Amino acid sequence: MSQNILVTGGTGYIGSHTIIELLNAGYNVICVDNLSNSKIEVLDRIAQLSPSEKLKFYQLDIQDRAALSQVFSENNIDAVIHFAAFKAVGESVLHPLKYYHNNIIGSLVLLEVMQKYQVKKIVFSSSAAVYGEPAATPIREDFPTFATNPYGFSKLVFEQVLDDLRKADDTWCILKLRYFNPVGAHSSGLIGEDPNGIPNNLMPYISQVAVGKCKYLNIFGNDYPTPDGTAIRDYIHVVDLAIGHLLALDYLNKHAKSLLTLNLGTGMGHSVLEVIHAFEEACGKKIPYKFVSKRSGDVAKCYADPTLANQLLSWKTQFSLLQMCCDSWNWQSKNPNGYA
Ligand code: NAD
Ligand code: WQD
């Protein structure tokens, strides 16, 4: 029988791509989202790309214990993939309480309800933000953790909660996935990243320059100790990331009592200028840019050592930087105003 997977934050960017892969792999999906950072239209798009009769949606806030309990009582849930969180680093510095409240309290309520219903398998969306300023690259999972902003700390705190829970009760199966820089979109161009307002992140900003919504890109810093002076990140295609979640579920099904932390990145670093050049190739246009001062909190180099995930999940990324840019452009050019 197909398993029933609860996906929190499932109408968001990574959640929607993961739901498509789950449905196409035969899982039943119960998606919960309060639509605080996503649009209901996503569900129609998912239905065009996967067997939507296997998808149920509940609009709710995971902090709402009664509503969440109702979902568990109506569905025989086997495992949870927990995406729901606020994720804007800059906003977390301005509004730390908002971030700690949503990301910690919401996640605690989820665990308590899971415990009540004896659902003890969870895949948690953590972030490379937990490495703070890494002492070296590539970054391994056993590197020291620290955060430079409340968003990163909210991930670190919840990782600790999961560790302590597993220590107290070894019947929990827990996989913490630390994503690097997710970009790209589904190859159909039907779903993609749809940030509210002016984008904070590089790929959506470049996409909006290419489509004419922003005039030029500000490159934050050109004197980093990197070959071209711009900062280096590990960009990973969102579909590679989504597939990582399916393999994570397989792992939890095969390994009872696991507690594992894995990097999900390609293992390759690309500079801001390299991303711009790949995007220019993808869209056939010039991307105008200006160098401005460094953004506070940015590090020179951040890329993963994904060996553990490669070995334990049999997971390997497939998409090149050029393909990530082609798919971002395909999404942005077909949906210049996102889902609106
Ligand atoms: P997203 O904002 O697109 O998706 C998150 C979804 O969660 C949204 O649909 C939002 O409406 C929902 N949500 C937020 N709080 C909620 C609550 N209390 N109750 C119900 N729904 C709620 O973000 P994303 O890029 O898809 O990220 C998914 C997860 O991955 C997040 O936990 C994020 O911190 C983590 N992550 C993201 C990145 C990235 O760069 N995108 C990198 C590393 C980790
Ligand atoms: C990438 C590079 C910028 C915008 C963030 C979070 C991290 C994780 C992934 C959630 C950097 C440069 C950017 C622009 C630029 N998210 N840049 N001009 O900061 O590596 O990671 O998303 O967990 O926690 O911090 O991603 O896309 O913002 O920046 O020059 O307009 O592009 O300086 O070097 P970042 P990003």
pLDDT tens digits along 127-176: 999 999 998 999 999 999 999 999 999 999 999 999 999 999 999 999 99
Q: Is 151 assigned a catalytic role?
A: yes
Residue 305 lies in a domain: no
What would the pLDDT profile of 8-47 be if each residue is shown by its tens digit?
999 999 999 999 999 999 999 999 999 999 999 999 999 9
The H or E element that residue 33 is part of is strand 28-33
Residues 195-212 have a mean pLDDT of 95
How far does the chain reach from its first CA to its final CA, in angstroms?
37
User: Could you give the 3-state DSSP secondary structure of residue 267?
Assistant: coil
Supply the residue whose CA is at minimum distance from atom 33 of ligand 2: 220
> Could you give the count of Cα atoms lying within 13 Å of 251 in the half-sphere of its Cβ?
26
**Structure letter (DSSP) for residue 54:** G
Which stretches within the chain are classed as H helix? 13-24, 42-49, 65-74, 89-94, 96-100, 106-116, 150-168, 202-210, 238-254, 272-283, 307-313, 321-334
Residue 74 lies in a domain: yes
Residue 275 lies in a domain: no
Q: For residue 184, what is the domain's CATH number?
A: 3.40.50.720
Q: Is 241 in the pocket of ligand 1 (CB under 6 A)?
A: no
Active-site position among 99, 131, 151, 303? 151
- The Cα angle at residue 284 between residues 278 and 289, in degrees rounded to 5: 60
pTM: 0.99
CB 89 within 8 A of CB 200: yes
**Which ligand gives the minimal distance to the CA of 7?**
1
**Which domain does 72 fall in, by range?**
4-192+234-266
Which stretches within 211-335 are classed as H helix? 238-254, 272-283, 307-313, 321-334
CB 78 within 8 A of CB 34: no
State the Cα–Cα distance between residues 105 and 65, nearest whole angstrom: 11
Q: Is 222 in the pocket of ligand 2 (CB under 6 A)?
A: no
As for how many domains the chain has, the answer is 1
Residue 220 lies in a domain: no
Residue 179 lies in a domain: yes
Residue 71 lies in a domain: yes
Residue 253 lies in a domain: yes
pLDDT of 290: 98
**Ligand 2 center–CA 115 separation, angstroms:** 35
Q: Which tokens is 301 given?
A: 């180099």
Q: Is 219 in the pocket of ligand 2 (CB under 6 A)?
A: yes
**Ligand 2 center–CA 201 separation, angstroms:** 5
Return the sign of the alpha-carbon dihedral for residues 95, 100, 101, 107: positive
CB 212 within 8 A of CB 331: no
pLDDT of 303: 98
Residues 280-300 have a mean pLDDT of 97
Residue 115 lies in a domain: yes
Residues 68-72 have a mean pLDDT of 98
Q: Is 102 in the pocket of ligand 1 (CB under 6 A)?
A: yes
> Does the structure show a pLDDT above 80 at 259?
yes
Q: Is 43 in the pocket of ligand 1 (CB under 6 A)?
A: no
Average pLDDT, the chain: 97
Residue 340 — very low, low, confident or very high, per pLDDT cuts 50/70/90? confident
Task: Calculate helix-pair angle for 272-283, 202-210, nearest 10 degrees.
Answer: 40
Residues 6+ apart with CB under 8 A from 105: 63
> Does the structure show a pLDDT above 80 at 1?
no
Supply the residue whose CA is at minimum distance from atom 44 of ligand 1: 127
Nearest by Cα to 235 from 269, 276, 210, 199: 269
pLDDT of 109: 98
